[in-house]
Structures are given as C-alpha cells and as structure tokens.
Structure 1
Amino acid sequence: MNIKASDVKALREKTSAGMMECKKALAETNGNAKAAEKLLKEKGLAAVEKRTNRATSEGRVFIAVKSDKALLCEVTCETDFVAKNDDFIKIGNKIAEKALAKGYTDVNDELLGVLLDLATRVRENMTLRRIRAINIPSGSVASKYVHTDGKIGVVVVLSVEPLEKAADTTITEFAFDCCLHIAAYTPRYNTRNDVDSAYLAEQKEIFAKQVADLDKPDKVKESIADGKLNKHFSDICFMEQPFVKDDKVSVAKKMAEIGSKIGAKIALVNATLFQLGL
C-alpha cells in the first residue's frame, strides 16, 4: 500500500513516534490514521510495561500555587534527556495544577493517567513519586522557588500581623529569599522543636561522649556538650541557620529584624523542601 508522506507526518505530530514507526503503523492498519495511532499507543504502553522495573532516578519537581493553597509534586523518569524535554515539563506542570485544583493530597490513578500518555509516547518508565499540599492561611505571604535544573523546589509560607502588612514588598522579598536559602542549604528541619526525638537523643549521647574525658568539672562538660548541640542545630535547622543574605544573623533574627523595621510580627507557618530522589 502506498502511504502518503503527509499522513506519516500528521501521525508523527500526534504521537511523537518516529517517522518509520508511523509509516509502519499506517501500513499495518491499511492507512487508517486512528487505528495506526491506537497501535502506536499500544506498542508504547507495552514498552513502558516492560520497563517498569527500570530505575527512575531522573525527573523534576513542580510547584503550583493559588491564593489559599500550594502544591509540590515530584515526577520521575529514567533519563536526564527526558527530564529536560518540554513535553515532560508541560506534563509535570499539568499534574501539579490538576492536583491543586482538585484538592488532591495523595498520588492517585487520575494523576498517574496524565503521566501515562507521555510515557507511552516516549517509551520510558515514569512515575509520580509524591505530592504534598500546603494550606496558605488568610493574611499569609507565600513564595515558591524551583531551581533551574528542576531538581529542587521550595515553598515558604509566613504569617503576618497586622494583616495589612502582608502586602509589604519587604516581606514578599524576604519570603522569596527564604526559599533561596532553603534551596542552597537544604536544612533537615525547620526548627529545633521539629527534630526527631530519637535523632536528638543520639546526638546528645555523641556530644556527651566527646567531652567525657575532658579534665573539667561536670557542669563545664555539660555546658560544652550543650554548645556543640546548639551548633548542630544551627547546621540542620532552617530558623537557626545563618541567613543566606546576611550570615551574621540567623534566619529567625533576620525575620525579627524585618518585622521590627516595618512594624509587623512575622512567623514561619510552613517551609517545605522537595529534592529529587530524597
């Protein structure tokens, strides 16, 4: 059967399959474009199913935000080449926006279905690894940041009192700087109160052993161990880390400084970091 080049081109534009694959599919279906499109999708799905055990260590983080909610999602694939593809980026943003609009808080079949269409076309294993929805209380300031390579995404929400101060550009700029800070320093916790109790107990034991053999009174040893613990908090806790744009003060102190400057009380509501694969 004579297959027209225009028909092959049209099928390729609809399916993103290779020219030869499109021509072969049209030949197998006697030139029926719809049947050929279905055949290519079936072949693509079969290819994806064969690859389901392949590692999906590449991908991107996507963020969608509206007035009262934000949502982060992590979409993974097999290769960096696909992760950088415009179609992959469009699908990731579509998933984030759909999950946000419908109020989803967990991965579900509908969201996975959006991803499956692209997976069948490029014949690469993909998955929606996780999503997280964040409430933005009234009068709060929310900011987001996704690193240029897409592998890190951050959402920060700050409460502001009085409410009219929430529109101050000083606060919106600070919220964005907090996102940059978290992306750069990737703190494990937001505050020391968030530190896992088992991890905290382990660190206290480590520091106590480090000072145990010092030739000093017990109270001095305890003080030194406490100092080590406080230093550790400044390494792992966002609010206690030296602020990215003024490392002479902690994030908490910079927040207080800015609040005092504009006559407002600023507090951290939420700081969420997504790192690809973590």
Structure 2
Amino acid sequence: MAITAADVKALREKTGAGMMECKKALTECDGDMAKAEKLLKEKGLAAVAKRAERATSEGRLFIREQNGKIAVVELTCETDFVANNADFIAVGEKLLDVTFEKGYTKVEDEHNTILEPLKVSIRENMNVAKVEVIDVPADSSAAFYIHSDHKTGAVVVIKGSTADAVKTFAKDCCLHIAAFTPAYTAKKDVPDSYIAEQKEIFKAQMDQDEKMAGKPDNVKEGILQGKINKHLAEICFEDQMFVKDDKKTVTAKLAEVGKEAGASLSFATAKLFILGK
C-alpha cells in the first residue's frame, strides 16, 4: 500500500513522533494507521523506560485555589526548554484539574497516566514529583504565589477572618516567604536536634574567639543563648522582620492586621515550595 505524505502527517499529529519514524511505522504496518500508531506508542514507551534514570532538575510548580482547597503540583523534566513548552504547561494544568475532580491529596496512578503521552512525544524524562492539597477553612483568608521562574512558590492560610485586609496580608506573606525562604514557620517547629547542633557550632566559634577568653561560664551561656535566639528569628517565618515593614516581625504585623479586622488571627498554613525540595 502506498504511503502518502498526508498519512505520515496525520500519524505525526497523533503521536508526536518524527516524520521518518511515522513513515517507517506505516510501512511496517502496510499503511494501517491504527497499527502504526500502536507500534509507535510501544516504541515510545520503551524509550521512556530507558530515559527513566535521567535527572529531572527542571520543571514547574502549578498552584490553584478551588472549592476551599489549594492544590500544588510539582512537575519536573530534564531541561528548561521543555519546562516552558506549551504542552508541558497544559499537562500541568490538567494534573491540577484531575486533582480537584478526584479529590486526590498525593501523587496517584492517574497523574502518571496523564503525563505518559507527553513523555513519549517530547522524549524527555518527566515526573509528577509532588501533589499536595491544603485545606482553606471557611473563616480563613488564603493566598498563593508563584515566582516568575515557576520554581518557587508559597501558600499562606490565615484563620480568623475573611476581611480584605487579611487577604492582602496573606498575599504579602506569600511574597515574604518566597523572598526570605524561611526554614520553619515558628520556633516550636524547629527540631531539638537542629538546635543542639547549632549550639555546638556557635560554642566552637566562641571557643576560638579571643574576646571570649576569661569570661565567666554564665556569661558565655547567655551569649550562646542570644546567638541561638537570633538564629531562630532569622530562620522562622513568624519571627522574621516583615518584608513590607522591617520594623515589625511577622507575628506583630499579624496582630496589627487582626486588630484592624476586629479578629484574632493565626497562621493555619505558611509554606514554601521549591522545585526539587
């Protein structure tokens, strides 16, 4: 059976395979379009398996708020060129769609099934690296932010009010988190093991400092605790100086906004998302 250019073009549009591969598949299948499509898919899936060990350090974060929830999807690939591909972006949005439709809260088989055709057509290793869903209670204000490179994002949920001022503050907190990348939300979230390790580091630094020589142990202990408190204030979101008012901590600003809204506010969620972490 004669293989026409139109046949090759039609098969290419269906599969995303190269023109020569489409022509070869149609020739092998005697022009049968369905068989040729199946053959290319089988070959494509085999190629996908071979690429599975390749590093996927590029990609995008996708975040959406819908029906009292915020969903975050992390989709990774090998190159930034593919991360900016329109089809890659469309698949990311589709992954959000199915997450909301099915009520998924983690990566499920259906997410990977949706991604599979794109892996075949683009010929690059890709992974649905993360699916996370955050609840937004009825009495809360929520916001999210994705940086222009789509590799850094933040989600903030503030309980206690839905006033416009609180919504604005939630958005500003997202910008703060993306800019200052706090490691923890509050001091209570910091593991004791981390604090102990940090104390050892500061203590070793103090032992090497000539200015510390001869100081009483209680004075050294006070200085050490001061260093720890300062460090925790730098890495904990609630104790950092607020990005839009560096004279006040985030906690102090929260109280100020709460007073303005006539409500007692608290952070239900204040989370940083970074591609690959």
Length-normalised TM-score, structure 1: 0.91
Looking at structure 2, the residues matched to 181 and 76 of structure 1 have their Cα atoms a distance apart, in angstroms, of 25
- Corresponding position of 2:215: 216
Q: For 2:66 and 2:175, locate their aligned partners in 1 and report how far apart those are by CA, in whole Å.
A: 20
| Corresponding residue of 2:165 | 170
Corresponding position: 1:201 with 2:196: yes
CA RMSD between the two structures:
1.8
Q: 1:58 maps to what in 2?
A: 58
Residues 213-222 or 110-119, more deviating = 213-222
Matched letter for residue 100 of structure 1: F
SS of the residue corresponding to residue 265 of structure 2 reads: strand
1:166-191 CA-to-partner distances (Å, cap 9, x unmatched) read 1x222111111111111111111000
Q: Give the whole-Å Cα distance in 1 for the aligned partners of 2:230 and 2:79.
A: 39
Please give the alpha-carbon distance, in whole angstroms, between the structure 1 residues aligned to 2:29 and 2:2. Answer: 12
Secondary structure of 1:155's partner?
strand
Secondary structure of the structure 2 residue equivalent to 1:265? coil
How far did 1:17 drift? 2.1
1:177-224 alpha-carbon deviations (Å, 9 max, x no partner): 111111111111000110012101112333344445444343332322
Aligned pair in 2 of structure 1 residues 273, 101: CA closer, same or farther (>3 Å)?
Answer: farther
Deviation sequence 1:51-105 (CA, Å, 0-9, x none): 1111111111122322322221211111221111111111122112312332222
1:154 aligned residue: 154
* Unmatched runs of 5 consecutive residues or more in structure 1: none
> Which residue in 2 is equivalent to 1:188?
183
Offset from partner CA, 1:202-256 (integer Å, 9 cap, x none): 1233334444544434333232222211211122111111211222221111111
> Is the contact between residue 208 and residue 222 of structure 1 (CA under 8 Å) also seen in structure 2?
no
Whether contact under 8 Å (1:72, 1:153) holds in the other structure is no
2:264 match? 265
Please state whether the residue corresponding to 1:141 is helix, strand or coil. strand
**Structure 1 residue 105 and structure 2 residue 105: aligned?**
yes
- Whether 2:13 is the aligned partner of 1:35: answer no
Q: Is the 8 A contact 1:154 1:273 kept in 2?
A: yes
Residue 173 of structure 1 aligns with an amino acid whose one-letter code is T
Q: Secondary structure at the match of 2:215?
A: coil
* Partner residue in 1 for 2:255: 256
User: For this pair of structures, how many residues does the alignment match?
Assistant: 273
Distance 1:41 1:137 in 2: 44
Uncovered stretches (5+) of structure 2, i.e. residues with no partner: none
Alpha-carbon distance in structure 2 between the residues aligned to 1:245 and 1:22: 57
Q: Distance in 1 between matches of 2:144 and 2:130?
A: 18
Task: Give 2:159's aligned amino acid.
Answer: S
What percent of counterpart residues are identical? 54
Number of the residue aligned with 1:243? 242
Structure 2 match to 1:25: 25
Does structure 2 retain, via aligned residues, the 8 Å contact 1:238–1:251?
yes
Per the alignment, in what secondary structure is the counterpart of residue 153 of structure 1?
strand
> Hey, what's the Cα distance between the residues in 1 that align with 2:14 and 2:246?
53
Q: How does the TM-score come out when normalised to structure 2?
A: 0.91
